[in-house]
Amino acid sequence: MAKVTVPSDLQAEQYQISPDYVRISMAAAIELGLKPGRINRCNCNCINLLQNYPEGCYANCTYCGLARERPGTPEENTFIRVAWPLYPTDLVAEKIAEREANGGVGRVCISQVQDHRAYDDLVDMIRRVKRPAPQVPMSALVSATTLNEERLHVIKEAGVDIIGVGLDAVTEELFEETRGKGTKGPHNWEYHWRIVRAARDIYGPMKVNCHIIVGLGETDRELVDMFFQLKEEQSQVIFSRSTPNLARSCRISLALPFIGCDAFNSSSI
């Protein structure tokens, strides 16, 4: 399905692309004073940033709001179901530095999309944030398909100490159905694992966060097996849900403390 023509009121964003512009989560925009509002009873401890290109993302993951064949313009679609307003990257970096000087920023995370410019722009954006705020811890949620071992080293040297990789699916079959050949997408299961293991070697144990989505068609057993595998790989698990079944998500959450305990293995749960 071809992308529709960009409406005239959104055409300005065609030229507001990364690395000069970045999308920021609404909570982070409020925290930095870029948007009016107040976060009730908590604060935004992580400033989440997202690369922006007029074409959106060249990957075609079936569950993603930025997928290549998703109807509508990239501006009309969204990432993880919330608004991501667009600002100049240097302005966001200045606001991060101000927030760091006045109480601290827990962490900044820049998320890549699948685009031929994404790697170079990621390194540029990391440096733009680090320049005024050198003490701020930084993560990168990367598109593994854009990377190799050399590029992982460059990202670390630019200032990132934790890498996130979106495996999303817990089996190769589901991965291919939702992210790979089944969607005419660029992603490959084996290559993602190569990047996960290379990142672990470069960044160190428990410095790689593997993102998993609950509700793509997997079983609870497959989820638990994957969690234990990632533990053995010395990588951390971050999971979100793509299912309205809240009870199932809670059940999976209850398994996580056991996975962290050396007294248990996959067959114990």
Q: Write down the residue that tokens 């100490």 correspond to.
A: 161
Range from 2-16, 40-54, 253-267 carrying the lowest mean pLDDT: 2-16
Residue 63's CB is within 10 A of a number of other CB atoms, namely 13
pLDDT, average across residues 180-190: 95
Structure confidence at residue 3 as a pLDDT band (50, 70, 90):
very low
Q: Is the pLDDT of residue 163 over 90?
A: yes
pLDDT band at 13 (very low <50, low <70, confident <90, very high): low
Identify the three-state secondary structure at position 212.
strand
Average pLDDT for the chain: 88
Q: Is the pLDDT of residue 72 over 60?
A: no
Each domain of the chain, given as residue ranges in start order, spans: 8-268
Residue 254 class from Cβ within 10 Å (0-12 exposed, 13-18 middle, 19+ buried)? exposed
The residue among 50, 45, 23 whose CA lies nearest residue 35 is 23
DSSP character at residue 216? S
At residue 22, does pLDDT exceed 90?
A: yes
Tell me what pLDDT residue 5 has. 47
- Which pLDDT value is given to residue 217? 92
pLDDT digits 0-9 by tens, 202-225: 999 999 999 999 999 999 999 999
Tell me yes or no: is domain 8-268 CATH 3.20.20.70.
yes
- pLDDT at 76 (0 to 100): 53
Instruction: Give CB contacts under 8 A, 24+ apart, made by 26-30.
Output: 26/82, 26/83, 26/84, 26/85, 27/82, 29/85, 29/87
Task: Find, among 51, 64, 56, the residue nearest to 168 by Cα.
Answer: 64
- Long-range CB pairs of 30-38, under 8 A, 24+ apart, other chains included: 31/99, 32/92, 32/95, 32/96, 32/98, 32/99, 33/95, 34/85, 34/87, 34/91, 34/92, 34/95, 35/85
- 141, 145, 151, 155: CA torsion to nearest 10: -10
Note the maximum CA span of the chain.
60
Contacts of 133 (CB under 8 A, 6+ apart): 93, 96, 97, 100, 105, 108
pLDDT value of position 8: 46
